[in-house]
Structure 1
């Protein structure tokens, strides 16, 4: 099978497509023929060598989120009702940019027919991260949620889920993405040095903040008077410690993922996809690394 590997830490150019042996599913596993794989900032960090706890052995495969079709069942995996040919999606660890991946059957979520493979892959990590963060921050009806980097993948899902909870959302983004945030139901403001005043100009008082940007986002949220226990970050542990706020990483949950996927199948949650063929993985990583653009970068594998 074809898979993306890297032989040393470094820039996007260290990534290459290699031929590897097809994996075989063990007991309780299924093998997925991958149709699309999401690209996330975590992958960039692994490639750079900035995730010391990640077990990397060169040549190292990479990738955390996939959608595809079941093509082989390991011993006992059929007891769940999953069958060869079923369309699925889910999380994995450092091996999703590949034509095949083997995963525990209990981590697999069925893909609704109305959701295409690229969008399904694009929603895997963002859905679990955003829904978990909103739960930890207790976002509810009547809240005014400030989402930093609202046009990114996590911000996109968090904004829509918060609106479904009847919260008001203020989203930070570059001016080029303000019309997009309005489409999601958010009130857009430009990020940067003038953010605090820009938020105040809306006439709204934020009660909770989710940081998916880093930098000054946490300090700005605290300056706006948001209680520290309701300021959460998914990207900046250091700033959270310095400001007495929270790191919100609820972890993976197939159940939470399935809930958001069901909303997406009904059109209640959307995700713009920026698609690249597997052979353009270097460009895909460069796009994520730039921290610009909206929605999600996804690698496409032909069936």
Structure 2
């Protein structure tokens, strides 16, 4: 059979888009490998109506609601390739199955390339975080460490003074100019230029000179990229952002390949569950419009 829309990636953005399409009685297939980006965290904060909820529960409840619609289908698999054109796309999964759809939506999420610091990866999402709006409040204005990964890290340190007493570890990732240093100091930020050797304990930073500093939580930046190259292989343009790369889309969430759309973390910055859901809902509505109106009038 041919689906109206095949959604590659079934996390928050992909499901939010699917909901709009299902409510328009369109046939939707979600292909999802089950690897949510926030699978490492036990609580999701800042999402209205689900503040502090287990993100796995949010996802499972959303899927349960989608399953109530008779035009919904779900395949647990990794989408490996996509080819074709608008009204005639084919997606092939890792088990060799193929699925046909009139439109594609890439909601693949992103992968995080973390700083190569011993002990950081196993603390990611537990005591080392990216987003202060998602995890800053629970630190109760305790001591906060920011480990630099590039020029944007100074902005992260500035912002985090809203959530606690900040120590900024430059860690060889950037050299502060005098105005930048003065701004951080004026905000009460302690600047530590000694390189980080490893992380230990809950959120302890061990420096190469042997000192060990303890914090309520740590923040750092990751470099992100779409979690699979499937969109790029189809011919969709990829663009640089301050945080990595993403799939390029227009205001209607369509990629540079006609009939192929993208949403969520893979196609916008910054990232959060709330923003992914909103972006997905918008993409779903625009996908529906593309099925209703001919291309010449879609943006009317």
Q: TM-score when scaled to structure 1?
A: 0.29
Greater helix share, structure number: 1
Q: Which has the larger radius of gyration?
A: 2
